[in-house]
Structure 1
Amino acid sequence: MIKLGSKRFCRSSSKLSRWNKAAPPAEKDSRSFGEIKWEVRPGGMLVQKREINENAGEGIITIRVSTVSQWHDISIEATSTFGELKMMLSLVTSLEPIEQRILFRGKERDDNDYLHMVGVRDKDKVLLLEDPAIKEKKKLLDLAGNTPRRTISV
């Protein structure tokens, strides 16, 4: 790890301090930043080290899943996929995972997308819809099942 001192790259503050003899208290406090921690990435690029929360993306989150007529609060791991969310929703609703379409932030999400990678956080809302193509097939099968069939024997 390489430690380099921090520098202030804001011209406007130096112009203000040049014209005003007494700097405002907020500017005095902003001068002491501490040291910036640097790291070398595998490609050889020197970048500022990010402060990563060790528990970020981990743990159980609660998602409010809204259907057309009702909503469900589902507790799931943040690192789960939308496919795993569909499996949990199939236990709560009468829809199989194949019949479900999940929308988050206005976009339909793929089964392989991870919740935390898309930006789903605790107490976020997700919309669950029934796939219209499968819904139409169900209606056709119900109609075909209710009509009497004629069997022709040769």
Structure 2
Amino acid sequence: MIKLRSKRFSRSKSKINVGTSGGNSGKGCVGGGEIKWELRPGGMLVQKRECEGGVGEGMITVRVSTVSQWHHISIEATSTFGELKIILSLATGLKPQEQRVLFKGKEREDYEYLHMVGVRDKDKVLLLEDPAIKEQKLLELARGRGIRTPYCSITV
């Protein structure tokens, strides 16, 4: 552990701790005279300003709304929307390719990270079925039953 003393804080009787962002040296929020430090990936040492469990740390609960149901999914904040789709496929029965996930009014790609887009604990995400795949399913169902559709006439 490295101890640093700053001129600005030398008058107060505060403890100065240095920890890495992955360590457990800083529990809770910064305040009350104790200064917490974190080492960023680039090597810069900065004062820690967030509470533990903030954006990009630990597990978050995402509220997922489908047309008729709500699902509460616990997932790591550093996961991607593709990983969220895989978990949702277990809950909804829709394959990840059939899903369209919207957050803050925009469709999100599979490679985008939840914490980078701004998803926080108990945020709402909208799940829709892909309209093109939904139409394919209806056409296959119509072919199986011999139903006439506006697109084509199929009789068996």
Instruction: Provide the TM-score with structure 2 as the length reference.
Output: 0.62
Superposed CA offset, 1:107-132 (max 9, x none): 00000000000000000000000000
Cα separation, 2, equivalents of 1:135 and 1:116: 30
Distance 2:47 2:143 in 1: 61
Structure showing greater relative contact order (alpha-carbon pairs closer than 8 Å, 6 or more residues apart): 1
Deviation at 1:49, TM superposition (A): 4.3
| C-alpha RMSD of matched pairs (Å) | 3.1
Q: Among the aligned pairs, what percent are the same residue?
A: 65
- Which residue of structure 1 lines up, in the alignment, with residue 136 of structure 2? 137
Q: Partners of 2:101 and 2:59 in 1: how far apart?
A: 19
Residue matched to 1:122: 121
* Structure 2 alignment gaps of length 5 or more: 9-41, 147-154
Corresponding residue for residue 104 of structure 2? 105
**What is the rounded CA distance, in whole Å, between the counterparts of 1:4 and 1:107 in structure 2?**
47
CA distance in 2, matches of 1:132, 1:73: 24
Q: Does 1:79 align with 2:56?
A: no
Q: How many residues end up aligned between the 2 structures?
A: 116
Rounded Cα–Cα distance in structure 2 between residues aligned with 1:133 and 1:52: 46
Provide the C-alpha distance between the structure 1 equivalents of 2:67 and 2:145, rounded to a whole number of angstroms.
27
- Highest CA radius of gyration, 1 or 2? 1
AA aligned to 1:71 is W
Cα deviation, residue 51, structure 1: 3.1
Per the normalisation by structure 1, the TM-score is 0.63
Partner SS state of residue 57, structure 2: coil
Task: Report the CA distance between 1:52 and its aligned residue.
Answer: 5.5
